Amino acid sequence: MPGNIKVEIVTPDKAVVSEDAQIVMAPGILGEFGVLIGHTPFLTTLKVGMVRYTDAGGQEHRVFVNGGFAEALPDKVTILAESAERRRDIDLERARAALDRAKKRMETAAQKDKVEYARARAALERALHRLRAAGKEVS
Amino acid sequence: MPTLKDVELKIVAVKKTKQITKAMNMVAASRLRGAQTAMDAFRPYAGKFAEVLGSLAEKSGEEASPLLVPKEDVKRVHLVLMTSDRGLCGGFNANLTGLAESFLKKTAEKGLELSISCFGKKGRDWARNTGVPIGAEHLGVVGGNFDFSAASNPGRLLIDGFIDGTYDEVHLILSEFRGMARQIPTLKQLLPIPPIETEEEDLDEDKPFLAEHIAEPSAEELLGDMLPRNVYVQLYNALLETSTSEHAARMTAMDNATKACNDMIENLTLAYNKARQAAITAELMDIVGGAEALKG
């Protein structure tokens, strides 16, 4: 590794992550992308999903991000998310409950109510990605 | 001359009031600390957001988003009024509703239709008396614990309203926090988004400038995506500022009240001692008079 890149994940409430990483992977709107040190300046919006980074010690971390955008500079990645949770902060019970709720809502809203359907779908997606970020396999 | 008992009761009452104002002062102080922490926590996000937004706006024109385009014929104006839910904070709410009042007059002179949505009970109560139609009301937000969704959900409604033509302009009244003794009621235009200022100072630094960024999907689309968020950021910031101001205003008001109680207690104690002394003197006179009479 030629060196480490600084990764920062900030939400309106707090700075969730601020440390050095070997590599950062983030869910860009046009697909997942990885950032190493010396990356060309880059700006993109993010999907709901998971940011992964390997810290200086070689350990992998996962952080759930609820949309937002990312800016990559040669020495730094900044991710601005509306909310973000580290793996250990994810509330599994709540995410599971949200998943079930969203599934039911999607069933009842299917066909009839497009807006409601889209909302339920977004909720489902959030719950799924939360669970995945927490390392749970879900179908 | 009040009797001894009267003065004593009054002193007890004022002391109790003082206990309450002092407790409120301390509660406000601790809440203020919380609110200031929240403001500090938001600063990195807001700073970065403004930086990125500024450089994106520089690259793309007005047509990037309908939120940037002023309506040609402005008829319906919407006002978002932020106040506190609770009183006992000096002139805090009166200052805010005062500004709203002058805004209301101005729109009436221009013959515009006005509607209001309120954060905070005091503002809502005021708005009810004006007879202006009230849209949404959000109670229990200002001064309490809230997260970003407290700003993004109402923000989304405002944007929807602006796009479908329910309102042609949206303005915001908030209280800016400029320090313990200075909370300034401020009027801001929320929609259409006023031209975004780009920070010139960043240009001099030798760090890579955003203009060289590769943007995905494209600068215009990115901007279009960020502008609604900009409205939420503004609203969230306004909520933080107003909450902090409220606690600061209450702290100052309660501090003054406690001081006034101290003054009153001092004066009353003086009056009490005087009255007591007068009673003692009168009794002595009685005794001495009686003794003299017995001597014959």
Average confidence (pLDDT) over B212-233: 83
pLDDT at B224 over 60: yes
Structurally, chain B folds into a number of domains equal to 1
| Cα–Cα dist A49/B17, whole Å | 54
pLDDT at A131 over 50: yes
CATH number assigned to the domain covering A5-87: 2.60.15.10
Cβ-based neighbours of B207, under 8 Å, separated by 6 or more:
A73
- A-B CB pairs within 8 A amount to 73
Who among B44, B212, B225 is closest to A45 (CB)? Answer: B225
Residue whose entry in the numeric block shows the structure tokens 């209450």: B250
pLDDT at A113 over 50: yes
pLDDT at B171 over 50: yes
Distance from CA of A39 to the nearest CA of B (A): 11
Q: Which residue spans of chain A are classified as CATH 1.20.5?
A: 91-133
ipTM for the complex? Answer: 0.78
Closest chain A residue to B234 measured between Cα atoms?
A12
Closest chain A residue to B38 measured between Cα atoms?
A13
CATH code: domain of residue B82: 3.40.1380.10
Residue to mutate among A8, A17, A71, with most B CBs inside 10 A, is A71
Beta strands in chain A, from DSSP E residues, in sequence order: 5-10, 15-28, 31-35, 42-55, 60-73, 76-80, 84-86
Q: Using pLDDT thresholds of 50, 70 and 90, give the confidence band for residue B238.
A: very high
pLDDT at B19 over 60: yes
Give the range among A86-100, B35-49, B82-96, B110-124 with minimum mean pLDDT.
Answer: A86-100
- Residue B124: the pLDDT is 93
- Residue B202: the pLDDT is 47
Q: What is the per-residue DSSP string for B172-230?
A: EEEEEE-STT-EEEEEEEEESPPPPPP-THHHHS-SPPGGG-EEES-HHHHHHHHHHHH
Average confidence (pLDDT) over B144-150: 87
Distance from CA of B156 to the nearest CA of A (A): 14
Is position B9 within any domain?
Answer: no
User: Rounded to 5 degrees, what angle do the CA atoms B182, B183, B184 make?
Assistant: 110
Q: Using pLDDT thresholds of 50, 70 and 90, give the confidence band for residue B205.
A: very low
CB contact under 8 A, A71 and B226: no
Say which CATH topology domain A91-133 has. 1.20.5
pLDDT at B257 over 90: yes
Closest chain B residue to A18 measured between Cα atoms?
B44
- Residue A138: the pLDDT is 65
- Residue B208: the pLDDT is 45
- Residue B104: the pLDDT is 93
Mean of the per-residue pLDDT values of chain A: 86
Task: Summarize pLDDT for B25-67 with one digit per residue, the tens.
Answer: 999 999 999 999 999 999 889 988 888 887 777 776 666 678 8
Is position B98 within any domain?
Answer: yes
Closest chain A residue to B49 measured between Cα atoms?
A80
Which backbone phi and psi does A17 adopt, to 5 degrees? -130, 140
- Specify the pTM: 0.84
Is position B12 within any domain?
Answer: no
Residue to mutate among B53, B148, B205, with most A CBs inside 10 A, is B148
Retrieve residue B82's tokens. 């932020």
Q: Is residue A48 a contact partner of residue A66, using CB atoms and an 8 Å limit? A: yes
In B, which residues are within 8 Å of A44 by CB distance? 215-217, 222
Distance from CA of A1 to the nearest CA of B (A): 23
- pLDDT: is A119 or B29 the higher one? B29
Is position B280 within any domain?
Answer: no
Q: State which residues form the domain around B233.
A: 27-251
- Residue B198: the pLDDT is 59
In B, which residues are within 8 Å of A28 by CB distance? 216
Q: Using pLDDT thresholds of 50, 70 and 90, give the confidence band for residue B281.
A: very high
- Residue B63: the pLDDT is 67
- Residue B277: the pLDDT is 92
Order across the sheet with B183-191: list the strands.
Answer: B134-138, B113-119, B76-82, B169-177, B183-191
Q: Using pLDDT thresholds of 50, 70 and 90, give the confidence band for residue B84.
A: very high
Q: Using pLDDT thresholds of 50, 70 and 90, give the confidence band for residue B123.
A: very high
Task: Summarize pLDDT for A57-74 with one digit per residue, the tens.
Answer: 889 998 999 888 898 988
Retrieve residue A127's tokens. 């719950």
| Cα–Cα dist B154/B150, whole Å | 7
Task: Summarize pLDDT for A80-106 with one digit per residue, the tens.
Answer: 998 888 888 888 888 888 888 888 888
Q: Using pLDDT thresholds of 50, 70 and 90, give the confidence band for residue B206.
A: very low
Who among B49, B56, B212 is closest to A80 (CB)? Answer: B49
Which backbone phi and psi does B250 adopt, to 5 degrees? -65, -40
Chain A residues whose C-beta is within 8 A of a chain B C-beta are 10-15, 28-30, 40-45, 69, 71, 73-74, 78, 80, 82-83
CB contact under 8 A, A13 and B213: no
